[in-house]
């Protein structure tokens, strides 16, 4: 993706009893998740924006957890994003 690109990530409801609980970027300087919105039907939405002008890679992970089970949510979805800067003249 190019810097400034905005992508909406839509996660459908899970078949097990887990619910999507949150999104995290391994490199927030490159890919910024925002607008996390879990919906009552189990679908979750977030917006991913490629920030900055440099290139690099980031892993976006989304965690899921059963609502009635104690413990931390586990990352169950991963998206690898490569940010490629625009070529510069000169």
What is the phi-psi region of residue 21: left when phi exceeds 0, alpha when psi lies from -120 to 50, beta otherwise? alpha
CA-based radius of gyration for the chain: 15
How far is Cα 63 from Cα 22, in angstroms, rounded to an integer?
Answer: 6
Specify the pLDDT at position 17.
79
| pTM of the complete model | 0.82
Specify the pLDDT at position 90.
55
Specify the pLDDT at position 70.
72
Span 26-60, pLDDT tens digits: 999 899 999 999 999 989 999 999 987 778 999 99
Span 56-83, pLDDT tens digits: 999 999 998 887 777 777 778 999 999 8
């Amino acid at each position: 993706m190019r810097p400034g690109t905005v992508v909406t990530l839509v996660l459908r409801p899970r078949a097990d009893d887990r619910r999507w609980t949150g999104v995290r970027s391994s490199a927030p300087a490159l890919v910024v998740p925002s607008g996390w919105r879990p919906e009552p039907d189990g679908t979750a939405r977030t917006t991913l924006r490629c920030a900055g002008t440099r290139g690099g890679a980031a892993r976006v992970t989304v965690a899921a957890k059963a609502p009635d089970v104690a413990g931390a949510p586990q990352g169950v979805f991963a998206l690898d994003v490569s940010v490629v800067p625009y070529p510069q003249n000169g």
